[in-house]
Structure 1
């Protein structure tokens, strides 16, 4: 895509395509809210079914984009989707911590996630529009986005190297303190209600607090994820589409992966490398626009290969490390049992 200072950012989407996309997105959200209207604990079969649906949907959409608009937009969509999906898995870690910290009943978990996803979509739309406006102001925007991602990559890598258990202190959260200062909060959950009437006045339920907490974390993730996809494509429509498809499947994916996430011990290392790669790519893209003959641009196909390779590598290394720890644990257990057996002999 070409970029001209002060010109609108190039996009494949017409107003009609935007309208259709938003209508379909709203329809899917409404369907999800209807499906979760009656709170229930999500079983693995239901979660896998929805996950497969939300994987097939972007795959079909990407093929359609490829067929109608050409190879480059198609590759950009698939690359951006892989980036967003990998970053959204990190979202699930935080959601898991928040749901545990607020002691959310299993039957209400998917409703909390759905509120969070709806809020995240609104925030991503705002940040994407702001990002497009910044890109119109000049090539320096790529340098800014690249700097944000590189700084984030350093933070993620430091957190990964520190290791240790992660936790959430609900009482120390500013959003929770502010809400409790302005409105009373009942001590127990009241089904799917966000507010109830208690002693003649309106009060919030703990469900409202966790929804606000999830919404606040969405802001942090939007700051990272939107520049990351702008590092893949300059098309605001494709940036929005990749974000929307990645977020829509989060609710079901959470229930599929909630017992697996802790086993992906090297995932944060991979995310740090991906953010650093895309940040470096944005810096090179800025330099390429300033000195087009001296600095090469990184092809999107190469970006897709690097991102897929990093995710595959950290998955394999995580599985190997888990298998090694299990073997060592079994050896220590057998050794302890053997030593105990020798002590029991007369």
Structure 2
């Protein structure tokens, strides 16, 4: 009788030693503490400040990637840069939802960056949990690649359908289960109380709308983690690189929000592009799973993945700019309706 074929477990070899993990996490903590210091005094973020921090947080992954190239070689560095581009592009879409949540809760401009900072910390914690779960799933067998691929393809179809139908991001605060649950157990003040999350009024403790906004942002972080972690596992199987790409992509979101809050609405084809990227990585994962069973099935190399992702993002930007200019010219024509 022929021997039964058993799917082998995936050996996840990481380039990171315990010392490198410790240094990376320590560096992340230092950056978060620095962000806390910056946001300790609530103030409205000016464009100059936001651009300066954005440049800083864009330079960090470049320096880190160059260091990886010198230390571990070009293959590891290309995987890092590819994963970073994927996570950064997905995080830009996250900013849309953050923007809508801040508007829905009428968060004052001086408190917006504090809400974003707590949201980013929550996202980092959730990503770390999902990364660990993803690594455990991959070690249990190659079926995890098929599962991750299916998740991404299904998500891509949903995102594309929403984009094709013209459906915009919508946030109904009253329908968020997390917000309803909090309101059921705690009273909420009728207005903001500065940067305080909880106050004592009329002899009882009550949450402020700022606390509810942070709960809502944290709840949406869970949804984002479900998509982003499988996406980067489609680029690299190294848990350290997966964590590093997520951390670098999230760290600069607070500053990037204030830089792009006016431009985000003009990227009308962003979701079309993100759906293509998610579908592409999903197919890449399925092919990787199939290659482990049938070696003749081709795999998509990481440099090609990086090229496809960058091409899609550039195309999305150019077509969005062209469409915006076309609409502006049409509106400027006299008598044109």
Same-fold call, TM > 0.5?
yes
* Normalised-by-shorter TM-score class: over 0.9
For these two proteins, the number of residue pairs brought into alignment is 331
SS at match of 1:254: helix
Alpha-carbon shift at residue 167 of structure 1 (Å)? 3.0
After TM superposition, the score normalised by the length of structure 2 is 0.96
Correspondence 1:230 to 2:233: yes
* Aligned pair partner of 2:120 in 113, 117, 120: 117
* Aligned pair partner of 1:297 in 299, 302, 309: 299
Correspondence 1:34 to 2:45: no
Contiguous gaps of at least 5 residues in structure 2: 1-6
* Aligned pair partner of 1:86 in 81, 86, 89: 89
Structure 2 counterpart of 1:343: none
* Aligned pair partner of 1:330 in 316, 327, 332: 332
Greater shift in the superposed pair: 159-168 or 74-83:
159-168
After TM superposition, the score normalised by the length of structure 1 is 0.94
Alpha-carbon contact 2:8-2:142 (below 8 Å) kept: yes
Structure 2 counterpart of 1:11: 14
Alpha-carbon shift at residue 165 of structure 1 (Å)? 4.3
Structure 2 counterpart of 1:67: 70
Alpha-carbon shift at residue 335 of structure 1 (Å)? 2.0
Determine the C-alpha separation between the residues in 2 that align with 1:138 and 1:165.
38
Alpha-carbon contact 2:10-2:142 (below 8 Å) kept: no
Alpha-carbon contact 2:97-2:169 (below 8 Å) kept: no
Alpha-carbon shift at residue 170 of structure 1 (Å)? 1.4
Assess, with a 3 A threshold, how the Cα gap between structure 1 residues 9 and 276 changes in structure 2: closer, same or farther. same
Residue correspondence of structure 1 range 155-234 to structure 2 within 5 A: 155-234=158-237
Structure 1 segments of 4 or more deviating over 4 A? none
* Aligned pair partner of 2:154 in 143, 151, 156: 151
Alpha-carbon shift at residue 6 of structure 1 (Å)? 3.9
Assess, with a 3 A threshold, how the Cα gap between structure 1 residues 231 and 164 changes in structure 2: closer, same or farther. closer
* Aligned pair partner of 2:144 in 130, 141, 144: 141
- Whichever of the two has the greater Rg, that structure is 1
* Aligned pair partner of 2:321 in 315, 319, 328: 319
